[in-house]
Structure 1
Amino acid sequence: MIPGWAVAVTACGMLAVGCAEQSRVPIPEGIPPGPGAPVPPIDIDAPGRTADQLRDWAAGQTDALGIPVTALEAYGYAAAVMAQSRPECGIGWTTLAGIASVESRHGTYRGSSVAPTGDVSPQIRGIPLDGGPGVAEIPDTDGGAMDGDPVHDRAMGPLQFIPETWKRWGVDANGDGVANPDNIDDAALTAARYLCARAGPDLRGGLAPGPDGLQPLRRVPGRRSRPRGRLLGGDSAVTARRDDTAGCCR
């Protein structure tokens, strides 16, 4: 499992803004170490929304962590799937929770909410990737069909994937037959698959140690957020940066 001091996310393919300017940002003091509560055994091939099996596990942590139950279920399920399909990667649910906290406050940015199916509404969209200050220029790749912008790509959903990355990596994780970037189940499992693939046989290859034992986060491109100040320990990633916006939206 990934040590608590060794977390930094490299996600240029997920969010493509300012990748050349990635920097490590230390986590604020007071973030406790630890891997998070272990995910209990589940049948990852069960029909329907398989993450529902983690309801009791998630409900027992939601108040302490400030994370919606459905979102916690999604992170736990994604970690469970990867533990069986790519055990050498070692990605934990706290890594995914940390990224989602940075990108969209777990699907709740600007009044959005997460339904029991995992769907996030209203949809969360990033700024146009138009080459502005600190922003990469990515001309439209999807005709606006996914991100609603026919001119430039925008990051989408609770994990803020760009359309091109989603088309390659997106998976259905809630059993509805659709890979949807605006569904937190689908987005969490897709992020786990993406990070493990980018990191190679060991997720440590995609992570980096930070100074003084603090958990760092390489700047997720295009991301700014207002930190919650309570999350997370273990193999987590959260940001110390303060702004009025979250995700890639600013």
Structure 2
Amino acid sequence: MVTLVLAGCGIGPDLPPIPEGIPPGPGAPLPVIDLDGPGRTALQLRGWAGEQSSTGIESVALEAYGYAAAVMGRSKPGCGIGWTTIAGIASVESKHGTHGRSDLDADGTVRPPIIGIALDGAPGVALIRDTDGGKLDGDPVYDRAVGPLQFIPETWKRWGVDANGDGVADPQNIDDAALTAARYLCASGGDLTSERGWQRALLTYNQSNSYLLTVRDRAAAYSVGRRV
């Protein structure tokens, strides 16, 4: 997980200022959709995602973030997670599934797969020995974070969920990864509309204050339609 620094935020006479404070704003409200529709129900947000083009996020990714927030709004209404928070994390973790040579297919699957460095205990790197026989990350010795939201296999095994209706919980699919991240964050932080809850959720996801602040900055930018 690499923390990047925003450059030039808040500069520009025609751009809305990026709000301060924690948690970041929830962003453009989501339209009502049929959360139980067949197939990739996130597609119902295509029009809404198109209206958020100023964020610079591909529609297929925005649909995934919006759908995840909508699902949690029904299943965990006390959480209050905004799509902007999921987008902020995905921006830091993988540039919304476009890290390196990767890109998102129309169905939200990252190709080629995003696989992080070996968590082998090297300086500055956690030590996490293999937990999945290399099934998700191709490494039978050490675990590696996988997918656009960078889950380690052990965490994915516990929290991974199928969000696009294909019957498979795939960490390399942005629909599945976004909803899994939202579930994990809500379970970790409780009320994400509170400063304490949001901070607790983010520090559970990544125990770094600089990471938390970078995600906050990016999510806050998205909340007012800014790209980062």
Specify if TM > 0.5.
yes
1:37-48 correspondence runs (5 A): 37-48=28-39
Deviation string for 1:100-155 (max 9, x for gaps)? 00000000011211111111111001100000111110000011011111110000
Q: Distance in 2 between matches of 1:167 and 1:155?
A: 12
Q: Distance in 1 between matches of 2:36 and 2:103?
A: 27
1:63-142 correspondence runs (5 A): 64-142=54-132
Specify the code of the residue in structure 1 equivalent to 2:150.
Q
- 2:150 paired with 1:160: yes
- Counterpart in the other structure of 1:233: 220
Q: How many residues of Structure 1 are paired with residues of Structure 2 in the alignment? A: 203
Are the counterparts in 2 of residues 125 and 147 from structure 1 also a CA contact under 8 Å?
Answer: yes
Q: Distance in 2 between matches of 1:157 and 1:83?
A: 24
Q: Distance in 2 between matches of 1:207 and 1:234?
A: 17
- Counterpart in the other structure of 1:220: 206
Specify the code of the residue in structure 1 equivalent to 2:34.
D
* C-alpha distance 234-91 of structure 1, shift in aligned 2 (>3 A): farther
What is the deviation of 1:221? Answer: 5.4
* C-alpha distance 193-124 of structure 1, shift in aligned 2 (>3 A): same
Q: Distance in 2 between matches of 1:231 and 1:134?
A: 24
Q: Distance in 2 between matches of 1:194 and 1:35?
A: 18
Specify the code of the residue in structure 2 equivalent to 1:114.
L
What is the deviation of 1:207? Answer: 2.3
* C-alpha distance 169-235 of structure 1, shift in aligned 2 (>3 A): farther
* C-alpha distance 145-72 of structure 1, shift in aligned 2 (>3 A): same
Are the counterparts in 2 of residues 78 and 93 from structure 1 also a CA contact under 8 Å?
Answer: yes
Are the counterparts in 1 of residues 55 and 222 from structure 2 also a CA contact under 8 Å?
Answer: no
Fraction of identical pairs, as percent: 64
* C-alpha distance 69-189 of structure 1, shift in aligned 2 (>3 A): same
Q: Distance in 2 between matches of 1:157 and 1:87?
A: 27
Specify the code of the residue in structure 2 equivalent to 1:71.
A
- Counterpart in the other structure of 2:160: 170
Deviation string for 1:46-91 (max 9, x for gaps)? 00000000000101212x1111110000000000000111010000
Of the two structures, which has the highest relative contact order with CA contacts closer than 8 Å and spacing of 6 or more? 1
- Counterpart in the other structure of 1:243: none
- Runs of 4 or more, structure 1, over 2 Å off, are 24-29, 203-209, 217-224
Specify the code of the residue in structure 1 equivalent to 2:40.
R
Q: Distance in 2 between matches of 1:53 and 1:149?
A: 37
Specify the code of the residue in structure 1 equivalent to 2:176.
D
Q: Distance in 2 between matches of 1:158 and 1:133?
A: 24
Deviation string for 1:190-245 (max 9, x for gaps)? 00000101113x12344239xxxxxxx75935998xx8xx9432797xxxxxxxxx
- Counterpart in the other structure of 2:14: none
Question: CA RMSD for the aligned pairs?
Answer: 2.9
* C-alpha distance 208-198 of structure 1, shift in aligned 2 (>3 A): closer
- Counterpart in the other structure of 1:56: 47
Specify the code of the residue in structure 2 equivalent to 1:233.
A
Q: Distance in 2 between matches of 1:235 and 1:85?
A: 24
